[in-house]
Structure 1
């Protein structure tokens, strides 16, 4: 594995990762932490409101195929009354069909990456959504 691009922001951006697959969740958390980000992970979306309030992430990495509220529901929940997302979202999903990507982007996702994702690509996507804020 190549070294991740280092983010030299102070304080480090906070990234919330919502991913049900344990191995992916661990990989994302370890790599993003190594890249200089502060990371909190959730295995599903049941506690996302509490995590958003307490952790106050700068961006969200979101799987779509989650148990309980799926990623589409979470994207809808994150929208403000004006239809904008409260925080930028990078979707990382095994759903590779164009329809899935279009739906997620229509719901406000900033980036859509298909698994398996290269970790460098994930860090670059996060850098991009943070820079766009």
Structure 2
């Protein structure tokens, strides 16, 4: 099954290059230039993973994370990809449920490895939860 990634990145060149790279890697990618349609895109696209820039127009990535962490979709893994390299931003993102925080610029290989690891981890977690439910329910 093809994994779906929601990419929220305001820099058009970065967004298009990342979309192209991830599509080449075998993912289905839906890109947004800002966070205005973030929740509508989640509902329509049902992503397996979200790549989120923090420096966005209209609504910041941190504001999105705060709303997202309290939403029905909070179990979808989020990887932040941001130029904010300070520890306080990374800590705040982790407190809001972000699993990985990548600092720009980074290599595409690092991005691909992080996505693969996160998707593998979330599949393993879901698989273990399903096994636990089968054991409990008989």
Q: TM-score range with shorter-chain normalisation?
A: 0.7 to 0.9
Conserved 8 A contact 1:80-1:86:
no
Under a length normalisation based on structure 2, what TM-score does the superposition of the two structures give? 0.84
**Structure 1 unaligned residues grouped into runs of 5+:** 1-10
| 1:31 and 2:29 aligned | no
Under a length normalisation based on structure 1, what TM-score does the superposition of the two structures give? 0.87
| 1:104 and 2:88 aligned | no
Higher relative contact order (CA 8 A, sep 6+): 1
If you compute each CA radius of gyration, which structure gives the higher value, 1 or 2? 2
Match of 2:47 among 46, 57, 66: 57
**1:33-48 matches, cutoff 5 A:** 33-48=23-38
Q: What do residues 18-42 of structure 1 show as CA deviations (whole Å, max 9, x unaligned)?
A: 0000111011101000001000000
Query: What's the secondary structure of 1:132's corresponding residue?
Result: helix
1:81, distance to aligned residue in structure 2 (A): 6.5
1:115 maps to: 104
Conserved 8 A contact 1:19-1:44:
yes
**Structure 2 unaligned residues grouped into runs of 5+:** 123-138
* Displacement over 6 Å in runs of 4+: none
Q: How many aligned positions are there?
A: 122
**1:52-91 matches, cutoff 5 A:** 52-80=42-70, 85-91=74-80
1:5 maps to: none
